[in-house]
Structure 1
Amino acid sequence: MVEQITKGIKISVKTKYNGIKYLNHRLFYAFSYFITIENKSSETVQLTTRFWEIIDSLNDTEIVEGEGVVGQTPILQPNDNYTYSSGCYLESSIGAMKGYYIMKDCNTLEEFKVFIPTFQLTNPVLSN
């Protein structure tokens, strides 16, 4: 698990290798990632936007950005946490992801970046 805290917002990430998938007659390596967002600050915040860099060792870096995460824009009171999972397909068995969320302080409406630490996506067979 990797973790990072930005302005009192803690991001924790776990990953899972899901095997090989064939899509449109092409081979892909499937990965899941599980994100926990903990509000360790004294302010109520809302996640409004996500930005990801998906790095595939055999492909160009893919940029993904948009509103919220998995169709939601969660509001976190102090000491709340929010967990979700998602996934990606890589052309190689080795990659990484990193990025940030745009969070909004619900009292001041100030927006700020919360960094998602770089995490590895690796076929566990390669680790042995």
Structure 2
Amino acid sequence: MFTATTEGVKVSVQTEFQPFYSNAKQQNYVFSYKIHIENESDQTVQLLSRHWHIIDGLGFHREVIGDGVIGVQPVIEPGETHSYVSGCNLSTFIGKMYGIYVMERVVDGKRFEVKIPEFMMSPPYLSN
């Protein structure tokens, strides 16, 4: 698991290779990732947007920027969590992702960036 904490917001990531949806002959490798966001601060926060950096094993870099996560902009109370699962396609069997969430404190509207830790994506047979 990969974890980072920014201003009391903890982001943890777990990845999983999806062999059923992958096809090596077509250079398409599919990974899922589960994000767990925990508000360890004493302020209610709302996740407004995301900015992902996705880099494959050949160094090809792409970015994904958008509102919320999987169609929602969750409000997370102190001590509460928000989790979701999403996915990523790569043209190589290894790659990495990292990024930020833009959050807003509900009480005063202050916006801040929360780090999404860099995490690797690779099939489990590569770690043997």
Q: Settle same-fold status: TM greater than 0.5.
A: yes
How far does the alpha carbon of each residue in 1:49-101 deviate from its partner, in whole angstroms, 9 at most, with x for none? 00000010125211001000000000001001000000001010110000000
Answer whether contact 1:38 1:79 (CA < 8 A) is retained. yes
1:15 alignment counterpart: 15
Equivalent residue pairs, number: 126
Q: What residue identity is the alignment partner of 2:109?
A: L
Answer whether contact 1:98 1:117 (CA < 8 A) is retained. yes
Runs of at least 5 residues in structure 2 that lack an aligned partner in the other structure: none
Counterparts of 2:9 and 2:71 in 1: how far apart (Å)?
20
The TM-score, its normalising length taken from structure 1, stands at 0.94
Local SS of the residue matching 1:43? coil
Counterparts of 2:22 and 2:32 in 1: how far apart (Å)?
13
The TM-score, its normalising length taken from structure 2, stands at 0.94
Counterparts of 1:113 and 1:107 in 2: how far apart (Å)?
17
**Identical residues among aligned pairs (%):** 42
Answer whether contact 1:59 1:91 (CA < 8 A) is retained. no
1:119 alignment counterpart: 119
Runs of at least 5 residues in structure 1 that lack an aligned partner in the other structure: none
2:45 alignment counterpart: 45
Is 1:89 matched with 2:89?
yes
Answer whether contact 1:102 1:111 (CA < 8 A) is retained. yes
**Segments of 4+ moved more than 3 angstroms:** none
